[in-house]
Amino acid sequence: MEDQYSQAFSSQKSYKFKARNSSASYRLGKLRKFKKLVISKKEEIASALSKDFHKPLVETDLTEIMPILSMINLLEKKLPLWMSDKKESSPLLFKGSKNWVRREGKGNCLILSPWNYPFQLAVYPVLTAFAAGNTCILKPSEFTPETNKIVIELLALVFTKDEVIVFEGDAEVSTELLKLPFDHIFFTGSTPVGKIVMKAASKNLTSVALELGGKSPVFIDRKINLDKAAKKIMWGKFVNGGQTCVAPDYILIHKNDEAEFVESCKKYITEFYGDKIENSADYNYIITDRHGDRLKKLVDQAVEAGANIECGGEYFSDKRLLTPTLLTKVNKEMDVMQDEIFGPVLPIINYSSQDEAIDFINDYDNALAMYIFSDSKSTMNTLMERTSNGGVTINDVLLAVGHPTLPFGGAGKSGLGRYHGEYGFEDFSHLRSVMRRDIDLGTSYFYPPYTDKKAGIVNSLLEKFSSLF
C-alpha cells in the first residue's frame, strides 16, 4: 500500500505544473460538471449521509450540498479575476521596472477531511485546491463509508487521477501519506490530531492549513429577547447532533436571566424534535459507539460533580442517540468544561458581570468561534476587543461559516490559515513576485567601488526618505 501512495504522489508531482498552468476555462468546465453531478445525485448523497449517521434530508441540503453549490457559483464569477496577475507600483528606487504578483498553485496537496460534515468538508477544499491550480490527494474519514463512496464516485467522474485521487482507510493511511513531501496540507479535525499533522509537515517544511475547533462560547447580554436567542442557539447547538466544529460549546448568561432562558431552550427542543426525540426523523445520531460513550460519560461525571440536567441526558446505545442535553450548575473543573464537547450537550453558566464573563472566556484557548447576543454596540466591541478567536457572529449562530466570501478559520490552537472565497483560493496559492526591468535608470551607478560621491548621494536619498515620515 505504501507504494500505491508514493506512485500516486509521484504521478501528481509530474502533473503539477500542467495543473498550475491550466486555464480558467478548463478549471471552470470541470467545476460546472461537478455542480451538475451534485444536483443530479442529491438524493444519493442524502441517502449516504442518512446511512452513516441518520442525517436528515433538509440538513444535508442546507449544510452539505448548498455550500458546495454556493462556492462553485462564486468561482464561476470570480475565478478569472483571482487568477489574473496583480500589478504593483514602482517607488523611486525601482522606476523603470514592471512589478506584479502571480497567484500559482502550490503544487501537490494533501487534504485530510473529517466525519462530521463528510461530503462538504471533503469536497469543498478539493474543489478550492483544484480551482487554484493544484493536484490533490484526499483522505476522508473512515467513519463515513457510505458518504465516501459517493464522494469517490463524483470526483472520479470529473477529475483524472493526476488531478484528484482518494485513499480510504484509518489513521495508518494518514500516517503513511503524511510521510510524503507534499507542497501543502489541509487538515480539518481536532486540535490534538492537528498537532500531529503539523509535526509531520515540519519534516518536509510543508505549509499547512489547520481547521480545528475549541470551546466556542456564547455570551448573552442583559435586556435582549431571551426567547429569540434561545431558538437560534438551540438550532445551532443541536444541528448535526451537536457535531459541528463551530457549535456553541457553552452559554454565559446573567444569573438573573438563567431560569427564563432555560425554559425557552426546553420549549424549542421539544418544538424542533418532539417529545420522543429518539423517534425523531430530524435529529442526528452520534457517529460511533466510542463517541457516544464519551459524551454519556461527560454528562454522568458532571452530574456526579454537582451539575443539574435541565433536560435530556438519555443515551440510546442501539441508535447511538444522545438526547439534547442542557446542564446547569456547571464549573470549570468538570470534564465537560475541559475540552470541546462535539456533541448534543450544552453547559449553561451564569455570570454576575461582563468582566467576569470575559475572564471566563479568556481562561480557555482561542476558540474557533464566539457568539454574542446583544443590542449594545459597546458590549459587542468590548467582547471583541478583549477576547481572541477565529470569528465572531453577533445575534445568531453558525451562519458565518456558510458565508461564501467571509474568511473561515481559527486563531491560536483553533487553527491556522483561512479558506472560503478568495481567502481559500489564496491559501492554496503561492504568491510569486515578479519584477521585469527593461530600463536602467541609474541603479548600477551605485555598484562598487563606493566612492565619497556615491556615499553622499546615498545619504541625500536617505534624508529624502526620512522626510517622508
Active site residues: 211, 245
Residue 100, strand partner residues: 87, 434
Nearest to 392 by CA among 413, 368, 374: 368
Instruction: Please report the sign of the dihedral spanned by the C-alpha atoms of residue 333, residue 335, residue 337, residue 339.
Output: positive
The DSSP output letter for 331 is: -
Answer for the pair 143, 173: CB distance below 8 angstroms, yes or no: no
The residue whose grid cell reads 427542543 is 269
Q: Provide the H-helix boundaries in 353-393.
A: 354-362, 377-385
* DSSP codes joined into one string, 288-299: -HHHHHHHHHHH
Phi and psi at residue 99, in whole multiples of 5°?
-130, 135
Distance (Å, whole) CA 76 – CA 192? 37
Q: Please provide the distance, in angstroms rounded to a whole number, between the alpha carbons at the two ends of the chain.
A: 61
Exposed/middle/buried for residue 249 (C-beta within 10 Å: 0-12, 13-18, 19+): buried
Phi and psi at residue 87, in whole multiples of 5°?
-75, 145
Distance (Å, whole) CA 2 – CA 4? 5
Residue 321, strand partner residues: 316
Nearest to 404 by CA among 67, 143, 129: 67
Burial profile 348-377: b = 16 or more Cβ within 10 angstroms, e = fewer: bbbbeebeebbebbeebbbbbbbbbbbeee
